[in-house]
A and B are shown apart, each in its own frame.
Chain A
Amino acid sequence: MSGFTSRADLINHATVEGRLESFDFVKSTSNGTLGRWISLWLVGSAPAAGNSPATTPGNVFSSDQSAQEPGAIWFPDRSPDQRHLLTFGAISDLDCSVMLYDRLAGVSGIPMNAVGANTINTQPLTRYASGAAAELNEVWMEYTTVSSTTLANLHINLYTTADGSAGQIGGAFNLPSVSVGPNAMIQMPLSPVLRGVQSVAQITVNTATSGGVTNILIIRPLARIMLPANEWVEFNFLDDYLNLPRIYDDATLGLAVNPLASLNPVIRGTIQCVYG
């Protein structure tokens, strides 16, 4: 039987059986912007800077002891045990919030400088693939080339929801500013009635901007914490918030930061999991 029957059982797994694992990270923000999520995927130093995914149909991400995705926080396969996030702690030199997510799929090279539909055609997911498991998947832009001049407006105009409904349309939205720099992460609205996402086929740029190229990602947020400058903060998902997010085998974990000023926080932290 996988999982933990009680708090005592979890402590037994962690201490008697040694089923505890952690990953320490250090990331230096680039192009930090007040109030905007900024991807730490394409910056170092631990794990080292990752790469943008391939162009359409892009990549489906997977990382473990035998094949690591550059830039990913990863853990060894533990099946049939289940791994759960126990604590997430970090310190930053500037006020910010930090998000830990599982990077499921991505497509690069989507331009924002021309009105019209762009083919994305993400590949089938290998984690959180369908049904209830995909209900918390989200679609985000990850900017790679700065845009300027005009406030872009866009929407997802063809995607498949968690329950397998194809051809769905997300709400149109403006980018948060005329100028959007590399590493900016911007969430894209989904259907008002159907949850989650399995794949994205197309996005449409309704109002174009100058320049602007983005990755389109499907991610699964796992935890978010707040970091006052220079104060270690650690959240416990057993005792602070009984949540215990599951970390699947092959998880390809990434980080994003939402800074309290247009500055570039450096974030050091640790992710600790227990499996059983």
Chain B
Amino acid sequence: MPGFTSRDDLINEITVNGKQDIWNFYKIAPANAEAAGVWQSLWKGVGNPGAGLDPAASPGTVHATDAGSATLGAIWFPDRSTDLRYMLSFGAVATQNCTLMLYDRLAGVSGISLATTGAKTVSSGTLTRYAGTAAVANEVWLEVTTATTTTAAVVNLNSYTTADGTTGQAGGSVTLPAAALDLHSLVQVPLLGSKQGVRSIEAGLNVGTAAATGVVNVLIIRPLVRLPLMANVWNEISLLDDTLGLPRIFDDATLGLALLATTTTALTTWGTINCAYG
């Protein structure tokens, strides 16, 4: 029976059977952050893992990563099916105060322009993890690949499919946090108030107010854990004993990191993701 029947079972799986997956990450932020309070993607930062790439243009890329087919930039683990893998702890230290987020990068579409108004076709591919009704905690984020200028763009989702399979839904608008939004900035896009999650984005992202320039990746991600960090002070959270969240890390998970900045200074972070499977 996959999973763990008790704490003792976890100890037995780790020490007797060696069923532990660990990734020690190290990321140098790819640039200065936009500002305090703005998320920054570490996907293209060098380190361990190394720098990632943008997804393809519409219909983009559905991400899957394992020992046989690694995705550039992804934190990944070997396939363990029929066992189930759960994250036991997540610890890190960074050179600036921040909040660090670990997420599973499910799908992405590159080359969406914010420089003109109107609905932009996204047509994201069919998810292979957190698909169907398991998509309730999926989120949509924009990852800036060409900096915006002159005007703070205003965008909303105007045709996407929620976790319960309802198509053609529209989300609330968000104004990007700056007129000149830097490369690698991440902005979450609101979903519908009455339905959870997202399976796919169709004719997708409406630009209500355009910037003079600006291109983004549209991502569907599944946040897994967030960790507050004071500069140069290691912090670690137990997903078993502190929060009993035990996030499941699926086979083919394509994990990425992002940070909520408290300063514009580019940071370096080191950390560890500790999982058990059984």
Q: What residues make up the interface of A, taking CB atoms closer than 8 Å to B?
A: 1-10, 34-35, 37, 82, 84, 95-98, 132, 136, 138, 163, 170-173, 176, 187, 189-195, 221, 224-226, 228, 235, 238-244, 258-260
Contact = CB atoms under 8 A, between A and B. Distances in A.
Interface residues of B, number: 47
B47 A240 contact: no
B88 A7 contact: no
Contact of A193 (B20, B26, B50, B240): B50
A243 B276 CA distance: 9
Given A6-B12, A97-B93, A241-B274, A171 B235 contact: no
A192 B73 contact: yes
Contacts of A226: 93, 233-235
B24 A6 contact: no
A243 B46 contact: no
10 contacts: A37-B270, A97-B233, A138-B24, A171-B46, A189-B26, A189-B28, A195-B23, A221-B24, A224-B272, A241-B88
B51 A171 contact: yes
B51 A192 contact: yes
Contacts of A258: 93, 232, 234
B15 interface: yes
Main secondary structure of the interface of A (DSSP, over half): loop
A84 B15 contact: yes
Interface stretch (B3-11, B54-62, B110-118): B3-11
B231 interface: yes
Contacts of A6: 8, 11-12
B15 A136 contact: no
A3 B12 contact: yes
A140 to B, nearest CB: 10
Given A34-B232, A192-B51, A244 B272 contact: no
Nearest to B18: A3
Contact of A241 (B23, B95, B238): B238
B26 A260 contact: no
